[in-house]
Amino acid sequence: MRADYTTLAKTIASLTEGETDVVSLMATVACEIHHSDARFNWTGFYRNVGDEILKIGPYQGGHGCLVIPFTRGVCGAAARTGQVQLVADVDAFPGHIACASSTRSEIVLPVWGASGNLLGVFDIDSDQPNTFTTYDAEQIGQILNSVFRV
């Protein structure tokens, strides 16, 4: 099963309409995206808590790392640079943090608030190599913008 991003975007828009609590929004987005695609085995948010530190937020899947500095790993790179990180092989990514030994590929997108502030990052892991595409990044990015930049 692969994500039908058009249907997914409509579902998430319907579920989050009128909600302003960021944690509630994160929980809903993580759940809906996680269950939309069989390639996704960990899906969740790391929240920007200040001082260039990310802390675990709502997620689906096994345990995640509790704290990630902006200076480490794929999530840190997305937070530090403000750029989407598409990693085909996590073992080839310098400084990758292995929160789960099953992870083979990863996509991490920065999540921006309405005022342009970095709320955190949205991380999806797969137990398959070379899972994520620029199409995934574009579609998930549009969903994140529609939920958090309003």
String of b and e for 70-92 (b: at least 16 CB within 10 Å)? Answer: bebbbbbbbbbeeebbbbeebee
- pLDDT, tens digit, 9 for 90 and up, residues 74-83: 999 999 999 9
Size of the chain, expressed as the number of residues it contains: 150
**DSSP H or E run through 76:** helix 73-81
- Judged against a pLDDT cut of 90, whether residue 98 lies above it is answered with no
- pLDDT, tens digit, 9 for 90 and up, residues 13-69: 999 999 999 999 999 999 999 999 999 999 999 999 999 999 999 999 999 999 999
Q: Which amino acid is at 97?
A: I
- Go through the domains of the chain in sequence order and give each one's CATH number: 5-148 (3.30.450.40)
The pLDDT assigned to 101 comes to 78
Mean pLDDT of 76-105: 90
For the question of whether the overall pTM of this predicted structure is more than 0.85, the answer is: yes
Exposure on the CB side of residue 98, measured as CA atoms within 13 A: 9
Mean per-residue pLDDT of the chain: 95
- Judged against a pLDDT cut of 90, whether residue 150 lies above it is answered with no
